[in-house]
Structure 1
């Protein structure tokens, strides 16, 4: 999704830019000419071409790159909409913005932000997600999806048996230092599931 949306929006910007450049628009006109329903001048066409190429390039690079680029470009579009709202009708309107341009900036900016953040900013990312940060998660959280796979149920049962044996050894005062060390981690948890996961992650 990240790559396709970045490429699609980037392609739209490139088409808009090329149509403006082929018409020989004045570089810094504050009034501009209509191109694809938007007001444009030479500077806006050049900027649109550059931004479009960046989005398309990010899409071809990788999904994470497309996501990050979409977020940054989306923020810039929203900022552009806010700033140019104040410059419309003045000599500072160097991008020849009009009301449709402002609406377009907000819509595209928000769309890029939503798409860029999709599947990335979440507390329940899958293990294989490129946006998951293992260092910020507890070992039990990382192991949870793995321990639920049917092929690893034997491993889960073995871990439970090992934990029970360690508890028994500790109660009868013949537990090894390694068992006592891992039990110290286990005893920080209350539920049976959390204790089992802690036992596995302490190995």
Structure 2
């Protein structure tokens, strides 16, 4: 069984995955639209800055594709959106590292500047965080499906905190409560 198969589609965390993917996708589409509006040549490395970052048509095309992919993930939702967010976030971070090495070199065909690299790191971490929310933590609640999967042997034999509270009954009143 894959990790994405065990998560119920209607779980409340799916909302976080959807909104995260949609908001980041819209932001990328706005950046791409501004890049297309500037009407640069596809691989120019001397264009104007857009929202403080350098751009060209090739970067605008890539931003459009990734933005649309995130919007599709938001539309589908659930585990797909979570997994897509983690992958896209990781790719953004890797892109940031790769472009650090090509700054001010002829291999910088996407016209990345240092602000683009920082944006790539920040956007990648943001998107990945939306994807990992509720899946990756050391303190998942016992009702979380990822917690149950990782601790199936423990949860099968031990009662949860809610079950312990219900079995104990109401707490006795003390003199301070009256």
TM-score interval w.r.t. the shorter chain?
0.7 to 0.9
Q: For residues 165-176 of structure 1, what are the structure 2 equivalents within 5 Å?
A: none
- Check if 1:80 corresponds to 2:95: yes
Counterpart CA distance in 1 for 2:91 and 2:130 is: 15
Q: What TM-score does the superposition give when structure 1 sets the normalisation length?
A: 0.66
Tell me, what secondary structure is at the counterpart of 2:83? helix
Q: For residues 49-198 of structure 1, what are the structure 2 equivalents within 5 Å?
A: 49-126=64-141, 129-132=144-147, 134=149, 136-142=150-156, 144-145=159-160, 147-148=163-164, 150=166, 153=167
Q: What TM-score does the superposition give when structure 2 sets the normalisation length?
A: 0.74
Give the number of the structure with larger relative contact order, counting CA–CA contacts within 8 Å between residues 6 or more apart.
2
What CA deviation, in whole Å up to 9, does each residue of 1:153-177 have, x standing for no partner?
49xxxxxxxxxxxxxxxxxxxxxxx
The structure that is helix-richer by fraction is 1
Task: Give the equivalent residue in structure 2 for 1:183.
Answer: none
Task: Give the equivalent residue in structure 2 for 1:166.
Answer: none
Task: Give unpaired runs (5+ residues) of structure 1.
Answer: 155-203
Tell me, what secondary structure is at the counterpart of 2:54? strand
Highest CA radius of gyration, 1 or 2?
Answer: 1
What CA deviation, in whole Å up to 9, does each residue of 1:118-166 have, x standing for no partner?
21113554455354563x433441462273363xx49xxxxxxxxxxxx
The 3 A distance-change label for structure 1 pair 26 and 127 is same
